[in-house]
Amino acid sequence: MIEKEKIKVIIDTDPGQDDAAAIMLALGSPELDVLGLTVVAGNVPLNLTTRNALMVCELSGRLDIKVFSGAKGPMTGPQVTAEHAHGKSGLDGPDIFEPSIQLEPQYAPDFIVETLLNERSKTVTLCPIGPLTNVALALEKNPTIATHIDKIVLMGGGYFAQGNITPSAEFNIFADPEAAKIVFSCGAPIVMMPLDVTHKVLTTRARIQQLASIGNPASEALVKMLTFYSRYNSKKFGNDGGPLHDPTTIAWLINPDLFKGKKCNVEIEIKSDLTRGSTVIDWWEVTNRPKNALVINEVDSDGFFELLTERVSNLK
């Protein structure tokens, strides 16, 4: 039997409890080769998102994963953070510790450029699950990398589900709309996980209990993270559990059949005071603008949680 080639991924992240779930899902999945985590400021400032990324690798028993720190804030405009959802540390829930893994010295956008130029063309997937600053900076440094990217599978935006940080904007896009504009117009194939789909992936009590039954260090920490995270989100959105946004990107890479969507044109609003950072999705094809993203809106959420539980149980 011919062995299938692993999917090479760079996860660009701002952990965040749901980022942690995404990283654990990736690290527990044999189909993926995680080339590195590139860290961006987002849910909390960069020093904390960087510490959190290292912590998640350590909790996952993966001291071999390379972690690179990147942009301290957006390309333009004021910095926005999300302690209201993630707590002061960004990863509230479990005990916070200083990780023993060393950060790589290279600047994250440089690592993205170098990797895309060094690896075989169209074999590396980018999974941005925070503000898009690092990816946009990499594209600005060397625009030719766009032609070497296999896919960009990102969490961000919303259409029918609108916004979660302003009435019309989702956090990752709102935190750096100029960067999002660069990414959505770069020409590389994009798969987009907007709030429309992530709000269907809820951390219900029953699902958290399933994760708790694994009983390894990663699952124990994840259960504490998601219990904290669910509290805020349940109150806000009135559901049993919170939307587990970021791991949908990794789950799509592993099993796209869990999802449904449609190719659309997506543009980013950067000017309006009221709707800055909103993703204008031409769902009904009322323009001739190019279809630059596969926009996902449906998910088999039980299948998604089965996958997450199975893969977190692979971690040591």
Residues carrying an active site annotation:
245
| 14 vs 92, beta carbon nearer Ca ion | 14
- How does DSSP assign the chain, residue by residue? -PPPPPEEEEEEE---HHHHHHHHHHHT-TTEEEEEEEE-SSSS-HHHHHHHHHHHHHHTT-TT--EEE--SS-SSS-----HHHH-TTSS-SSPP----SPPBSS-HHHHHHHHHHHSPTT-EEEEE-S-SHHHHHHHHH-GGGGGGEEEEEEE---STT--SSBTTB-HHHHT-HHHHHHHHTS-S-EEEE-HHHHTTSB--HHHHHHHHTT-SHHHHHHHHHHHHHHHHHHHHH-SSS-B--THHHHHHHH-GGGEEEEEE-EEE--S-TTTTT-EEE-TT--S-----EEEEEEE-HHHHHHHHHHHHTT--
Q: How far is the CB of 17 from ligand BDR (least distance, A)?
A: 8
| 246 vs 282, beta carbon nearer Ca ion | 246
Name residues contacting ligand BDR, limited to 10-39 (CB under 6 A): 16, 18-19
With binding defined as CB under 6 A, does residue 245 bind ligand BDR? yes
The CA distance from 246 to 194, in Å, is 10
| 113 vs 250, beta carbon nearer ligand BDR | 250
Q: Which does 58 bind (CB under 5 to 8 A by kind): ligand BDR, Ca ion, none?
A: none
Instruction: Return the residue of 48, 82, 208, 253 that touches ligand BDR, per CB under 6 A.
Output: 82
Q: How far is the CB of 16 from Ca ion (least distance, A)?
A: 4
With binding defined as CB under 6 A, does residue 196 bind ligand BDR? no
| 235 vs 289, beta carbon nearer ligand BDR | 235
| The length of the chain, given as a count of residues | 316
Task: Note the residues at the interface with Ca ion (CB under 5 A).
Answer: 14, 16, 19, 129-130, 246
Please answer whether residues 148 and 126 qualify as being in contact, where contact means their C-beta atoms are separated by less than 8 angstroms.
no
Which one of 30-38, 55-63, 169-177, 266-274 is the stretch in contact with ligand BDR (CB under 6 A)? 169-177
The CA distance from 188 to 307, in Å, is 28
With binding defined as CB under 6 A, does residue 261 bind ligand BDR? no
Which one of 140-148, 164-172, 231-239, 299-307 is the stretch in contact with ligand BDR (CB under 6 A)? 164-172
| 16 vs 36, beta carbon nearer ligand BDR | 16
With binding defined as CB under 6 A, does residue 229 bind ligand BDR? no
| 36 vs 243, beta carbon nearer ligand BDR | 243
Q: How far is the CB of 132 from Ca ion (least distance, A)?
A: 11
With binding defined as CB under 6 A, does residue 169 bind ligand BDR? no
Q: Which does 49 bind (CB under 5 to 8 A by kind): Ca ion, ligand BDR, none?
A: none
With binding defined as CB under 6 A, does residue 92 bind ligand BDR? no
Name residues contacting ligand BDR, limited to 128-157 (CB under 6 A): 129-130, 155
With binding defined as CB under 6 A, does residue 171 bind ligand BDR? yes
With binding defined as CB under 6 A, does residue 228 bind ligand BDR? no
- The neighbouring-strand residues paired with 140 are none
